[in-house]
């Protein structure tokens, strides 16, 4: 039979939350049990003009549509969007420091417009570490200097124990050429053979709001070239 609300309202009727919730609950039961043909409009009620195209952010490469987000950004090659990390922004190479900084160009924000959303955040990177033979006081020993690169969700200031959980790479200080052209004969590749350089985070957002994703680093080495990297996002509104 057709749906009939338990409570109908006329002018002057006191509107209570209990009556409204009773109508809502009855409608839920009706929709769950099956809608009768008489309650379905037999003319078209959604037209093409009612469906809006997704909003595209050209810088981050992320688009937002009806059912969520998708997109991301990447290096595009070693000479296009290569980015860098350095010890001078994370404590000057001092081993007691645990400060993290965002890796330039790799962060982006999304605006979740529906609660209870599932977020899949994918990342990968390749870097060359050092060599760093600087002698400034207070630093970790040359052969002990490390770099940590990893994903982050939200504020960088909330990262407290990442040094213990992220994989690190070590300063490569051999094969240094002191005559012109001064510099490393070869550097430490971060591209394989030591743990993971990529991963996927699953994040569940219970509320609406703007959220930040990206890559962060903590470095005890003065020169870290992230030659290839990629970050991408998938958000599903449930």
Same domain, 40 and 60: no
pLDDT, tens digit (0-9, with 9 covering 90-100), for 200-238: 888 899 989 999 999 999 999 998 988 888 999 999 998
Q: How far apart are the first and last CA of the chain?
A: 30
Instruction: Determine the Cα–Cα distance for residues 159 and 100; give it in Å rounded to an integer.
Output: 7
Same domain, 41 and 82: no
Same domain, 218 and 190: yes
Same domain, 126 and 231: yes
pLDDT, tens digit (0-9, with 9 covering 90-100), for 138-186: 999 888 888 988 888 887 766 666 676 677 788 765 556 667 766 556 5
Could you tell me which residues are beta bridge partners of residue 151?
215
Same domain, 71 and 143: yes
Question: Domain tally for the chain?
Answer: 2
Task: List the beta strands (DSSP E) in 77-208.
Answer: 83-85, 101-102, 108-112, 117-129, 146-153, 168-170, 176-177, 183-184, 188-189, 198-205
Burial (CB < 10 A; 0-12, 13-18, 19+), residue 179, is exposed
Same domain, 47 and 115: no
Same domain, 75 and 161: yes
Same domain, 21 and 139: no
- Which range of residues forms the domain containing residue 22? 1-51
The model's pTM is: 0.69
């Amino acid at each position: 039979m057709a749906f009939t609300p338990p409570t109908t309202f006329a002018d002057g009727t006191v509107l209570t939350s209990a009556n409204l919730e009773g109508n809502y609950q009855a409608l839920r039961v009706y929709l769950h049990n099956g809608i009768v043909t008489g309650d379905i409009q037999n003319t078209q009620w959604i037209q093409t003009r009612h469906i809006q195209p997704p909003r595209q952010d050209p810088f981050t490469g992320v688009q937002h549509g009806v059912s969520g987000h998708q997109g991301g950004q990447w290096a595009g090659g070693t000479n296009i969007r290569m980015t860098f990390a350095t010890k001078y922004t994370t404590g000057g190479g001092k081993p007691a420091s645990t400060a993290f900084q965002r890796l330039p160009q790799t962060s982006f924000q999304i605006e979740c417009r529906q609660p209870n959303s599932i977020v899949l955040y994918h990342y990968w990177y390749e870097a060359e570490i050092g060599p760093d033979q600087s002698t400034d006081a207070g630093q970790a020993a040359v052969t002990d200097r490390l770099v940590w690169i990893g994903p982050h969700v939200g504020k960088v200031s909330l990262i407290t124990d990442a040094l213990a959980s992220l994989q690190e790479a070590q300063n490569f200080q051999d094969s240094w050429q002191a005559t012109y052209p001064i510099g490393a004969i070869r550097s430490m590749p971060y591209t394989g053979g030591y743990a993971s350089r990529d991963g996927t985070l699953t994040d569940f957002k219970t509320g609406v709001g703007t959220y930040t994703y990206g890559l962060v680093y903590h470095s005890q080495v003065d020169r870290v070239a992230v030659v290839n990297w990629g970050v991408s996002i998938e958000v599903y509104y449930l």
